[in-house]
Copies of this chain bind each other. A is one copy, B any other.
Amino acid sequence: MSREDIIFRLAERADLSSIVRLLADDDMGSQRERDEEPLPESYYAAFEKINGDANHELIVAELGREVVGTLHIIFLTSISFQGGLRAQIESVRVERRHRSHRIGSEMLKWAIERAKERGAHLVQLTTHLSRKDAHRFYERLGFKGTHLGMKLSLR
């Protein structure tokens, strides 16, 4: 598989069930998602908000017309860094059968290029502290693990 075989593009409404399937296909995701047919309406409502906001880019990776990966880029304007723009990457997933086939790294490289195109000075993401493999993956792409990501659940 070469990079040329993979297409990266903005997600469409018709991709939503593939995206939810990818999000649901891990230990934590299986507990918090509802990969059902039809999908719960809340997924469509979120998609419409994301799709209508130029600061959001929900991306799918397509291989042979099949959605095999997804990530979500959010462009964040801040006062800090002299009014700088950051790109935040969330919800990175690659289809289980296609892991270790470099789709993840090509997808991230594509997202980093996209962040540069839009003028971001920084790309940021968080991954669970226990996921040492993911840390190495992102370090190979040039990321530095300098921060502690802290979460407060409101549920």
Contact surface of A with B, Cβ cutoff 8 Å = 16, 19-20, 23, 29, 32-34, 40, 42-47, 49-50, 53, 55-56, 58, 72, 74, 76-84, 88, 90-91, 112, 115-116, 120-129, 135, 138-139, 141-155
With a CB–CB cut-off of 8 A, which chain B residues contact A55? Answer: 53, 55
Q: Are A121's CB and B153's CB within 8 A?
A: yes
- Total copies of this chain within the assembly: 2
Choose one: B56, B84, B88, B151; the contact of A122 (CB below 8 Å). B151
With a CB–CB cut-off of 8 A, which chain B residues contact A141? Answer: 152
Q: Are B154's CB and A150's CB within 8 A?
A: no
Closest CB in chain B relative to A34 CB, distance in Å: 6
A150 and B126 in contact (CB under 8 A), knowing A47-B83, A50-B77, A80-B33? yes
Q: Are B148's CB and A149's CB within 8 A?
A: yes
Q: Are A46's CB and B77's CB within 8 A?
A: yes
Chain B residue nearest to A128 in the complex (CB): B147
CA distance A139 to B151 in the complex (A): 10
A91 and B76 in contact (CB under 8 A), knowing A55-B53, A147-B149, A150-B125? no
Choose one: B90, B146, B153; the contact of A149 (CB below 8 Å). B146
Choose one: B32, B135, B139, B145; the contact of A80 (CB below 8 Å). B32
CA distance A137 to B58 in the complex (A): 34
